[in-house]
Every structure is written in C-alpha cells, then in structure tokens.
Amino acid sequence: MVNKPLLRVLKGERAARPPTWLMRQAGRYLPEYRALRAEKGGFLALATDPEAAAEVTLQPIRRFGFDGAILFSDILMVPWALGQELTFGAGEGPRLAPALVDSALESLSPDVTRLDPVYATVRRVAAALPAQTTFLGFAGSPWTVATYMVAGQGSRDQEATRRYAYADPVAFGAIIDAIITTTVHYLIAQIDAGVAAVQIFDSWAGSLSPEQFERWVIAPNRAIVDRVRARCPDTPIIGFPKGAGGKLAAYAAGTAVDAIGLDETVDPHWANAVLPPELPVQGNLDPLALLTGGAALDAGIDRVLAAFPERPHIFNLGHGIGQHTPIAHVEQLLQRVRGE
C-alpha cells in the first residue's frame, strides 16, 4: 500500500502527479502483443494460457512503467463460464452461442472451472510486478455482459436486450442474477489470487432510460459491491459507467463504488462539481486525442489535469486505447502527466 501510488489514490489520497494507467493498455497497439497473439493463434488461446496472459499483462508495464497493471482477460469470460460458447473471429468481434434472445438460460451448462486459468494468470503477475505497481482485476457489469449474452454479439444500441428487458423482466432478471453470482465469485477469486483493486466495466450503461438504468445498472452493481466488499473490505472497487452522463452522481451514490471512471464525453469540471468531493475519479482523456498526438494531445491532457485541482485523480482515457495509436504518443502522454 505504502509504495503503490495508484492504490493510495483509490483509497482517497491525492497525489502530486496523478498515477496513470490506460484502459486496454495490453493489446494490439503493441507489436509485442501482436507477436504473442499470432503465436498463440487467437484471443481465447492467449487469455487461457496463464504464462502468455501474464506476459501480455506485463508488457505495457515493462515498456511504459504504468502505475497500474490490468489483468489480461475479457469481460466475456463470465458468459463462457455460464455455459455459452465464446469465439473471437478475425475482424468481426466476439460471438456467444446460443444467444439468449432465443434460448433459455436454463439450457446452458455452467462450468466455472473455465475461469481457473485466469486465477493462475493473476498469481503469476502478482509475483512478477514491481512493488509500486497496483494490480487491477476486472469484470463486466451485469447489464453490459447481458447485452452480449442476449444478442450473442455486440450491437450498436443494444436494442434486442433493451426490448427483452421490457418484454420479460423476470427472465431478464434471472440472467442478470446469474451474472451477478458468477461475477461476485470471479472478482473475489481474483482478489484472493493477488489483485489489489477491481474495475467493473459498464461499456453500454449509456443506452438505458433512467428507470431501466436504476434497475439494470445501479441495483446489480450495488449487489456486486456489497457482496465483494463483505468478503474483501480493503479492496477498492472502481465503477466505469460509460455513457451514464447525467446519471453519474446517481450511479456513484447508488452503487457505493470506491472510485468512478469518466468517459471522454463527460465534462470533467461538471463531474468535479456534482460528485462527492472525496470520491476518487479516473479518466477522461479522449482516446482520439491520444491517437492524434501533438498539440491536441497536450491540450487534452492539460484540460483533464486542470479539472481536478483537489480531488484524488487517476489519469486514464475515457475508453480503451485504439489499436492504431502510436507508441510515441503514449510516451508523450506519460511525460506530460508526470511533468517531465
């Protein structure tokens, strides 16, 4: 704890220079990632090989010295453990089968041992990380995971899942409950294996009406927070409700997360004004400013830094780093945030 700047900020301390990590920092913009992925033959093969997944987790730490290392895995490991088949076809995004829009949850045969390689990865990374680096585990939020489980794939506006939730809230609630149960187990097991904090990714939180947001985003995340915190009271939980916009303060209060991630569409000055003053925030540089580099990147970084003059702040993007982002731009970002 003493030597880990990011963990200290998650526990409510302000740092002179914000500790930094980037969502999707392990991935395709790194040549060393692309080489290992090609050798292993695919994403799932990589994610279920603890030696390779640990190596991919450590690659961006070695190259950039980020303050946080995020476990290399995927939010869709939970649907896989719940019994759906998971494939990552080249260039087409992940697929889950059977899609629950036309198959019952009860037709699946769950197999939580599918998550065991992830815990082996966590143990390897925890043993290899520099002492000052904070190790972050993660899972998807029930709503975002459900959008993939119901549609069987990603979708622009999550219409199939939003319609399902209105048409059959009992069946949809059973899917959400199954995801909650497995996610609680999954996060606690990651913590037991060695992560120091966890993040709940809610990439599609932005598509719901306020009442549906309350029911399918806030309440399920609160259930996860309460159950993980009861077992692991010292482990901070970061919520990342992408697209929540005007519902951010309700999300923070309703879920009781320890820190909140802001996407790039949120005005950071507004967020700073509406969120509780002690709540650590993470974000919210536009990934496209990082892709562009140069003066646009410098100006974007300065705007984010200026918006949080007193609050505990972790520097990050508003969403994942793009695969075509030049490595030199990541170096530029780190130098500027670190004041070098």
Question: Which residues are catalytic, by number?
Answer: 24, 28, 37, 74, 148
DSSP-assigned letter for residue 214 = I
> Residue 98, interface with ligand CP3 (CB under 6 A)?
no
State the minimum distance, in angstroms, from the CB of residue 273 to ligand CP3: 26
Which value, in Å, is the radius of gyration of the alpha carbons in the chain?
19
Residue nearer to ligand CP3 on the CB measure, 61 or 275 = 61
The verdict on whether omega for the bond into residue 287 sits within 30 degrees of 0, i.e. cis, is no
Q: Residue 233: which of 271, 201, 191, 275 has the closest Cα?
A: 191
Residue nearer to ligand CP3 on the CB measure, 46 or 272 = 46
Q: Which of 37, 95, 162, 311 binds ligand CP3 (CB under 6 A)?
A: 37
DSSP-assigned letter for residue 15 = P
Report the DSSP pairing between strands 237-241 and 259-262. parallel
CA 41 to chain centre: 24
Report CA dihedral (14, 278, 261, 308) to the nearest 10 degrees. Answer: -60
> Residue 25, interface with ligand CP3 (CB under 6 A)?
yes
Cα–Cα distance between 321 and 68 in angstroms, integer? 15
> Residue 23, interface with ligand CP3 (CB under 6 A)?
yes
Residue 90 Ramachandran class (φ > 0 left, ψ -120 to 50 alpha, else beta): beta
Residue nearer to ligand CP3 on the CB measure, 121 or 235 = 121
> Residue 263, interface with ligand CP3 (CB under 6 A)?
no
> Residue 93, interface with ligand CP3 (CB under 6 A)?
yes
Window 165-204: contact mask with ligand CP3 (x via CB under 6 A): ------------------------------------x-x-
Span interacting with ligand CP3, options 21-29, 215-223, 249-257, 262-270, rule CB under 6 A:
21-29
Span interacting with ligand CP3, options 70-78, 162-170, 171-179, 277-285, rule CB under 6 A:
70-78
Q: Which of 74, 263, 264, 286 binds ligand CP3 (CB under 6 A)?
A: 74
Q: Which of 249, 320, 332, 336 binds ligand CP3 (CB under 6 A)?
A: 320
Cα–Cα distance between 66 and 103 in angstroms, integer? 43
Q: What are phi and psi of 251, to 5 degrees?
A: -65, -45
CB contact set of 169 (below 8 Å; sequence gap of 6+)? 215
Angle between helices 169-193 and 142-151 (to 10 degrees): 120
State the minimum distance, in angstroms, from the CB of residue 33 to ligand CP3: 7
> Residue 26, interface with ligand CP3 (CB under 6 A)?
yes
Residue nearer to ligand CP3 on the CB measure, 37 or 215 = 37
Q: Which of 43, 66, 80, 251 binds ligand CP3 (CB under 6 A)?
A: 43
> Residue 29, interface with ligand CP3 (CB under 6 A)?
no
Span interacting with ligand CP3, options 23-31, 165-173, 218-226, 254-262, rule CB under 6 A:
23-31
Strands of the chain, DSSP E: 68-70, 85-89, 93-97, 134-140, 197-202, 237-241, 259-262, 281-285, 313-317
Q: Which of 5, 18, 19, 27 binds ligand CP3 (CB under 6 A)?
A: 27
Report the DSSP pairing between strands 85-89 and 93-97. antiparallel
Cα–Cα distance between 202 and 220 in angstroms, integer? 11
Distance (Å) of CA 282 to CA 219, 228, 250, 328, 339: 22, 21, 17, 22, 18
> Residue 154, interface with ligand CP3 (CB under 6 A)?
yes
Span interacting with ligand CP3, options 88-96, 111-119, 126-134, 227-235, rule CB under 6 A:
88-96
Q: Residue 148: which of 86, 206, 104 has the closest Cα?
A: 86
- What is the contact surface with ligand CP3 in residues (CB under 6 A)? 23-28, 37, 43, 70, 72-76, 88, 93-94, 138, 154, 201, 203, 320
